[in-house]
Amino acid sequence: MKGLKHIITAILPLMFFACDNFEENEYLIYSDGETSESTPVTKTQNYLTVMLEDYTGWKCVNCPSAAALLNELQTKYGEQLVAMSVHAGGFATPNSLNNNLDLTTEYGEKWNSEFGLSSYPIGVINRMNNASSKAVQKDDWDNRISSLLNSLPHKMNINLGAAKKDGYFLVSTEINALEDINNATLISVVVTENGIHGVQLNNESAYGPTPKIEDYVFNHVLRTNARIDMLLKENMAASDVIKKNYTVNIDPSWNTDNCKIIVFVTDVTTGEVIQSNEIEAK
């Protein structure tokens, strides 16, 4: 079959779309979440980014300072830092003390396990090894981000468009390769949300004497319904341009005005993030 796209994610019922330049009875096959529908690209890149994942939980008494640091680093590095707060592990399990507010995700738990994380707060930066582990202590986040921005090759740009539709986000991606990339690459599309109010346990005087903050505001929270680890291309040559469109179902509990779409590309062989970008869906 001509134009068959490799699919490495688990396949749900497939969507078939006729294409005029295909022979009769030949179709382009889309993986779950990929679509022919598109929206204009409105955010372009010409700079390297680093992605910081802050692994956290509402029962983590030292996590409020990490969240504050993440905000400071985003101010410092601007669009070169893409950040998400991943609620995972035992400190994130909801119960009656936090009104059963569940901010965990299936893939957040999967990553937490794969990266071998067990103490929180902890960061993972570009999913690169830091000595023998991917874990980076929060006091080292700034130096690590600065070092990577000054040393990593700028291999690609991720240009994005995003729109809110009836029940889903439509995300259009345009990947521009700047160097040859000989390993296969994966693309992931996730949603984060700011301004979620809930309970946070606390052991830090900067946030008041109370050990339990009743109305804490969680930001950069990784949400459900992501499209993760979809094959982008087996290998890429410098100047390649790959355009793909994705849908992400909107959960009714989200405040979509506070949501951002993060798209990142990883190297299949190393598991490291090559480039990332984020956009608000209008």
How many Å apart are CA 184 and CA 251, to the nearest integer? 31
Q: In the chain, pLDDT over 70 holds for what percent of residues?
A: 86
> What is the mean predicted confidence (pLDDT) over 89-118?
96
Q: Return the CATH fold of 50-280.
A: Immunoglobulin-like (2.60.40)
What's the pLDDT tens digit per position in 157-209?
999 999 999 999 999 999 999 999 999 999 999 999 999 999 999 986 555 55
Edge-to-edge strands of the sheet including 168-177?
Answer: 34-35, 241-249, 168-177, 156-164
Over residues 148-152, mean pLDDT: 98
- Give the H/E segment covering residue 145: helix 141-151
Q: How many residues appear in the chain?
A: 282
Identify the weakest region by mean pLDDT among 19-33, 129-143, 156-170, 247-261: 19-33
Provide the pLDDT for residue 19: 32
Give strand pairing partners of 55. 86, 122
Which of these, 111, 251, 226, lies nearest to 171 by C-alpha position? 226
- Put simply, whether the predicted model's pTM sits higher than 0.95 gets the answer no
CA atoms within 13 Å, Cβ hemisphere of 247: 16
d(CA 101, CA 91): 13
Measure the CA dihedral 243/171/190/247, to 10°. Answer: -100
Domain ranges within the chain, ordered by starting residue: 1-32, 50-280
Would you state the pLDDT for residue 211?
A: 86
